[in-house]
Amino acid sequence: MDNQGVTADPQLQQFIEIESQKQRFQQLVHQMTEVCWEKCMDKPGPKLDSRTEVCFVNCVERFIDTSQFILNRLEQTQRSRGTFSDTMTD
């Protein structure tokens, strides 16, 4: 089998990467919705009371902050490993 056709097509690679990012984002939104719903929603009603609304806002903000922190930490780890491996090959 010849795998060069897949790796040689930059448009296909870009399309796959974009679709993967969309899927990861949708999974993140689903996870956030599930976590915050379980944490904040006592009993569904016709509208949210102020306490539930504040809980949802805080939950979403914490979820986003935590996700961003983890992503930043992973990027730092990758950079430090990349820098380390670059110096090892010199």
| Alpha carbon distance 56, 85 (integer Å) | 43
| Alpha carbon distance 84, 76 (integer Å) | 12
Residue 8 has a pLDDT of 66
Domain 11-88 = CATH 3.10.129.10:
no
pTM score: 0.61
Residue 88 has a pLDDT of 46
Given a cut of 50, the residues of the chain with pLDDT beneath it are: 1-2, 5-6, 84-90
